[in-house]
Amino acid sequence: MPRTEFSPSIATRPVYAALKAHGSAPALMLADAEGAEALIELAAADPAVMDRAHLIYIPAGAAHGPRLRELGAKMYHEAPSFSAALERYRKALLDAKMGTQLYLAGTEGLIGQAAAEALAAGLPADAIQSEHRGSIARRMQCVHCKGVTEDVTTDPFVCSHCGLTLFVRDHFSRRLGAFQGVCVDAETPGIVPEMKEIKA
């Protein structure tokens, strides 16, 4: 699947450019599902990028694992979910030295959470590269109960934590790595606009 080009209409959404190799500098790589293809293309452009790379992959049903493993990263690890990979990822951030390159590829939820962790670990935003691939489903935080609903594809949607019907705001929080959802029928309980598919 090719790189997703979002229209620049959402001002708070991070810009997901194409990954660019920084040679054989120490690297931390995190990808989910179709994001694997971004790393495969990165390694094709500059194989040295894998020399000192620690690569963590979350397949989420995709079959790219074996090809990724063959790229020759110094360390390769697969995890069933971001939360399962988190302990390893945090440890890698803790041990990393300045100059380490962070490459993120895949869905917005993965990129957002991984970038938020890295920022909290002290990595400046300009040291983080990310490329969007695959599903454009959104990771949504409910502003009322603060619960996060993954893979939201419709607007409005039902919060998987408190059950309110939420309007999908075009406001991305870098700290949370999620968009924000607000109760759509607070003033007119029960009157909910028709559900539409999220297209961008």
- 158 vs 192: CA distance, rounded Å: 11
> Is residue 125 a contact point for other proteins (CB under 8 A)?
yes
According to DSSP, residue 69 is labeled H
How many C-beta atoms lie closer than 10 Å to residue 163's C-beta? Answer: 11
Contacts of 23 (CB under 8 A, 6+ apart): 46, 48, 49
> Is residue 104 a contact point for other proteins (CB under 8 A)?
no
Smallest separation, CB 114 to other proteins (Å): 14
Smallest separation, CB 23 to other proteins (Å): 8
Q: Which is nearer to other proteins, 119 or 158 (CB)?
A: 119
Strands 53-58 and 27-32: parallel
Identify residue 89 by its one-letter amino acid code: Y
Of 18-26, 80-88, 163-171, 188-196, which part binds other proteins (CB under 8 A)? 18-26
Smallest separation, CB 96 to other proteins (Å): 5
What part of residues 146-185 is at the interface with other proteins (CB under 8 A)? none
Among 36, 39, 62, 101, binds other proteins (CB under 8 A): 101
Contacts of 94 (CB under 8 A, 6+ apart): 121
Of 39-47, 60-68, 123-131, 166-174, which part binds other proteins (CB under 8 A)? 123-131
Compute φ and ψ for 150, nearest 5 degrees.
-85, 160
Q: Which is nearer to other proteins, 2 or 99 (CB)?
A: 99
Among 18, 127, 143, 158, binds other proteins (CB under 8 A): 127
Among 98, 187, 190, 197, binds other proteins (CB under 8 A): 98
Nearest to 46 by CA among 29, 23, 25: 23
- 115 vs 164: CA distance, rounded Å: 28
- 182 vs 165: CA distance, rounded Å: 8
Among 72, 122, 163, 193, binds other proteins (CB under 8 A): 122
The residue ranges that bind other proteins (CB under 8 A) are 22, 25-26, 93-94, 96-101, 118, 121-127
